[in-house]
Every structure is written in structure tokens, then in C-alpha cells.
Structure 1
């Protein structure tokens, strides 16, 4: 039987909320704003522009930006770790 998990702390829930908010902004930008803008202007929407929807949100909410950038670093680090483990497993099995 698994041990009962502890509830998340307020700080942990706040981080989840911040990351969810940024992901929703990014989703809105990708699925609504970018297609509308491209249809209206005939030009590709630049998500990396400082005044893009998500970047504007992040610049107005520094704690959300910090959490999102930390997540990005963690994802990059985990990709690297997973690749190293896959390479090690492949060499262990003689492939």
C-alpha cells in the first residue's frame, strides 16, 4: 500500500498556478491571437516579440516569469539527463 501523500504547501500551489497561467497565455496566443493576427495582417505572428501576448504577460508579472524560466531550465536539464541515460542504456545493450 502506498503511503498517503501530503497536501501541497501554499507556495507549491502558487507555483503551479503561475505555471498554469503562463501556459494558458501561451495557448491563447497560439490558438487565438496568432491565427487572428496572421489573417488580419497577412504576416507571420512573432511570438518572440517583446510585445507578444505571452511576453507582455510575463513582463507584467515577474514572479510568473521567474517560475516559467525556471521550468524552462529544468526541462532543458531533464532532456539532457534523459538523453544521457538513453545513450548509456543503448551502449550497455551493445547497440
Structure 2
């Protein structure tokens, strides 16, 4: 009976861990959708143009940018951190 109890507890813990991992993956996918949206693209470009008025042109120092999707993280203040 002791072995059965230990196995039951292990199964319950395993199910909880898998459910938590699934929720985290869903949250990550939602954050990536937000980062890839047209609204986010406009915000990124506005920030770059504030740094360099000729950004995203041949004359600017910043000619292109790429979002590192692996760097997307939830901010504790609400919002996202992106590299």
C-alpha cells in the first residue's frame, strides 16, 4: 500500500507540473503574438526613429532590426521585455 501511495502522489505532482508547463507555453505564445503584431512593429519603429531620425533608411545608422523571440518575457509592471 505504501508503494501505491507513493505512486499516486508522484502522478498527482506530475500532472500538476505538466499543467503548469502547458500554461507557461500558452502565455509565451500569446506574448510572441503581441510582439509580432503590427501595433508592436509601429512602436518599435517609433522608438528607433527617436534614437536616430534617419533610422530604417539607407542614411541612418540603424538600417534594420530583428526581434529575438526567445528574449520575450513578462514584465512585473505589466507589459513585455523584448530584445
Relative to the length of structure 1, the TM-score reads 0.36
The structure showing larger relative contact order (alpha-carbon pairs under 8 Å, at least 6 residues apart) is 1
Report which of the two structures shows the higher radius of gyration computed on alpha carbons. Answer: 2
Higher helix proportion, which one? 1
